[in-house]
Amino acid sequence: MRGGLERIRPTESQACLSQQERVANVRGAFAATGRFDGQTVLLVDDVCTTAATLDACARALKRAGAARMAALTVSRAVNPR
């Protein structure tokens, strides 16, 4: 394996947080464990609610040189409003 992602600081559960709180909660919480220069990376997450975690992970991969990211989720939570 070339590398991956690692959580570099603890975060709160996202379940009861607003979208803005979720973004702040995971900002800077992940770091790449290797170099991804020019690579396309597939991020896999079980549930996508606001995409805050996927975005934070994508930013860490971008800092590690990834050229493109795609995301695959098992389910998508939607707001019924």
Residue 3: predicted pLDDT: 82
Structure confidence by residue, pLDDT tens digits, 3-49: 899 999 999 999 899 999 999 999 999 999 999 999 999 999 999 99
Contact 32, 3 (CB under 8 A): yes
Residues with Cβ within 8 Å of residue 36, at least 6 apart in sequence:
2, 3, 61, 64, 65, 66
Residue 71 pLDDT grade (very low, low, confident, very high; cuts 50, 70, 90): very high
H helix or E strand, kind and range, residue 55: helix 52-63
DSSP for 1-39, written as a single string: ----EEE-S----STT--HHHHHHHHTT-EEESS--TT-
State how far the Cα of 52 lies from the Cα of 49, in Å rounded to an integer: 8
- In terms of pTM, does the model score above 0.85? yes
Assign 58 to helix, strand or coil: helix
